[in-house]
A and B are shown apart, each in its own frame.
Chain A
Amino acid sequence: MAAGALASKTLHELRALLKAGTVCAGDVLEDLLARIAQQNPSLRAYLAVDEARVRRQLQAKSAAASQDPPLSGIPITVKDNICIQGEETTCASRILQGFRAPYDATAIERLRSAGALLIPRANMDEFAFGSSTENSAFGVTRNPWAPERVPGGSSGGSATAVAADLAIAALGSDTGGSIRQPAAFCGIVGMKPTYGRVSRYGLIAFASSLDQIGPLAKDVTDAAILLSVIAGHDARDSTSAPVEVPDYERQLSQRVEGLRIGLPKLSGIEGIDPDVRQALDDAVAVLEGLGLRTVPIELPHISAAVATYYIIATAEASSNLARYDGVQYGWRAVNGASAQSPLINLYLRTRTEGFGAEAKRRILLGTYVLSQGYYDAYYLQGMKVRTLIKQDFDEAFARCEVVLMPTAPTPAFRIGEKLDDPLQMYLSDIFTISANLAGVPAMSLPCGFSHRGLPIGMQVLAAPFREDLLFRVGYAYEQATDWHRRAPVSSATSSYE
């Protein structure tokens, strides 16, 4: 078999090949590791891959593999903010450099019991603060479709890895679009589950009321398989929902005729790229051809989503990141002379030297909006507008089963383009943020290309715990189109299906 032939397969293709005994897990892993060794120095999707540690999982597995778990022998790439026992987990931040997690996240535990092989550590924006992966303390990830462009973020490493066949499928995290926007920029599928669907235990916290772990995959089927494995109630996360998880894969081909797609007006939002508009219009026509009906809907507060988000998310982040003080774990600065007490000075130096520019910006913004005298005007008002945004979605989902909108207003932008203008960077999240504020599930899937050949993603949203609808609509759309089978030129011979 040609080099990269296995790395380019989907999860479900590999599962079938492994089951039939056509290939063995060792072949898959070696093909993938060879491709990573070859391509990662230029793409930087991974911060590091410890080949010896990865191979050791395979040896431990063959000793115990008598039963037939759903992901047996399948490598799954993991973003650098999800704890894997014994592995370095840094959130792409200097302040956690050298930190080896003492326990497994629940999602990791579930992948392990499903037989998966874990491949850490996919690059990301530091602490998931960003939309381009340029805020990583350890290097910029490149978009495999156009190396001078960003892969999106914050799960940019996971997205590039999946798109360039340096991963079979991956886990990311999404606080304001960090799975969906990079999935759109890299031409793959990315899904943010309902808040509470996947346990956050072991996901290093950014904004606890918004964070969710979710899959990035080569197609909808793979995303459905992965979510079925990682979802479900977990007593170790008190915000985990005690709601039954269906077998999403089995429901994929259920009928979609007659489902209603809500098309929001998106008033007050300018700057949507004409290629993105065109791709969305074309996608609507395809969905109508499949028997879905469109209905106009209103999401009157969506234009306030970015402002609301950057109050709530930074407030939560400033409080979550207070724990990094150089005392109990992580990195500690060398103490020096100071006017402050030696302990205060240790905190100041460790945090000042350990956090990057965007982390500092968000900590300061969050500290400001929570401080005395500003709390009511910013944080409290933000939480009230959040209620209005959530109500917009409640009303929308009374009139339709799914909502369709762009994932991002533009295709991937150039490296450096928005780095000095944080507000422009934040505004690139305008379409993804409201799903986190409302807690609803949302999925991005490939729906076309710009005139420059850059992937475009469309976003499908559903009511809480109706991920099944997203997968069904996405699967039906995939059967009628071939966007998800396109691969960047640098990619190995693509042979999905």
Chain B
Amino acid sequence: MITLLCATSMSVVTPALVNQVAFLARLQLEGQALAQLATQLDGILQYVQQLQAIPTAHVQPTSHVLPLANVLRPDEPRPSLPTEVVLALAPSAKSPFVRVPKVIEA
């Protein structure tokens, strides 16, 4: 077993909260899987709580390590993948569209 210095707090992740987050992520969870995930996510989130103890008041966040910003290219049209090649990848298509279930009721 590997252990690290770890701050602990009380359980924050309930099955109801997991369900709510799952819907945001367009996932469906039920029964045993839901209960197990709630327990596992709670353990992981308690583990990452240790970051709260690190002073960062004057630290800038890093979203990206390279000193690159606003990488631009000339705004010129270039060839793209042919429509038929892209549509051939779709599970259901009627050229030039991909087909999805009806979203607006008549």
Within 8 A of A (CB), among B64-84: 64-66, 68, 71, 73, 81
Tell me whether A387 and B59 are in contact (CB under 8 A): yes
Let me know if A343 is at the binding interface, CB within 8 A: yes
Query: A308-337 vs B: 1/0 string, CB under 8 Å?
Result: 101100000010001001111111100100
Supposing A307-B48, A342-B101 touch, asked if A367 and B21 sit within 8 A by C-beta, the answer is: yes
Tell me whether B66 and A241 are in contact (CB under 8 A): yes
Inside 8 A of B81's CB, which chain A residues have their CB? 102-103
Tell me whether A364 and B25 are in contact (CB under 8 A): yes
Supposing A99-B89, A195-B66, A371-B24 touch, asked if A387 and B44 sit within 8 A by C-beta, the answer is: no
The one of B25, B61, B66 in contact with A196, judged by C-beta atoms closer than 8 angstroms, is B66
Tell me whether B101 and A311 are in contact (CB under 8 A): no
Interface size on A, residues (CB 8 A): 78
Inside 8 A of A464's CB, which chain B residues have their CB? 65
Inside 8 A of B106's CB, which chain A residues have their CB? none
CA of A278 to CA of B26 in the docked complex: distance in angstroms? 48
Query: B71-106 vs A: 1/0 string, CB under 8 Å?
Result: 101000000010001100111100000101111000
Tell me whether B56 and A388 are in contact (CB under 8 A): yes
Let me know if A214 is at the binding interface, CB within 8 A: no
CA of A322 to CA of B54 in the docked complex: distance in angstroms? 31
Tell me whether A307 and B89 are in contact (CB under 8 A): no
Inside 8 A of B27's CB, which chain A residues have their CB? 348, 351-352, 355, 360, 363-364
Query: B49-65 vs A: 1/0 string, CB under 8 Å?
Result: 01110101001111111
The one of A308, A335, A367, A428 in contact with B51, judged by C-beta atoms closer than 8 angstroms, is A308
The one of A331, A387, A423 in contact with B91, judged by C-beta atoms closer than 8 angstroms, is A331
Inside 8 A of B63's CB, which chain A residues have their CB? 209, 383
Tell me whether A348 and B28 are in contact (CB under 8 A): yes
Let me know if A430 is at the binding interface, CB within 8 A: yes
Tell me whether A310 and B48 are in contact (CB under 8 A): yes
Within 8 A of A (CB), among B15-60: 18, 21-22, 24-29, 33, 37, 40-41, 43-45, 47-48, 50-52, 54, 56, 59-60
Residues of A participating in the B interface, judged by any CB pair closer than 8 Å: 99-100, 102-103, 195-196, 209, 235, 238-239, 241, 268-271, 301, 303-304, 306-308, 310-311, 318, 322, 325-332, 335, 341-349, 351-352, 355, 357, 360-361, 363-365, 367-368, 371, 377-378, 380-388, 390, 409, 422-424, 426-428, 430, 438-439, 464
Additional 12 contacts, C-beta under 8 A, given A384-B60, A387-B56: A99-B89, A304-B51, A325-B26, A326-B91, A330-B89, A331-B91, A345-B101, A348-B28, A367-B25, A378-B48, A387-B61, A422-B40
6 A-B pairs closest in CB distance: A439-B65, A383-B61, A271-B2, A342-B101, A332-B91, A384-B56
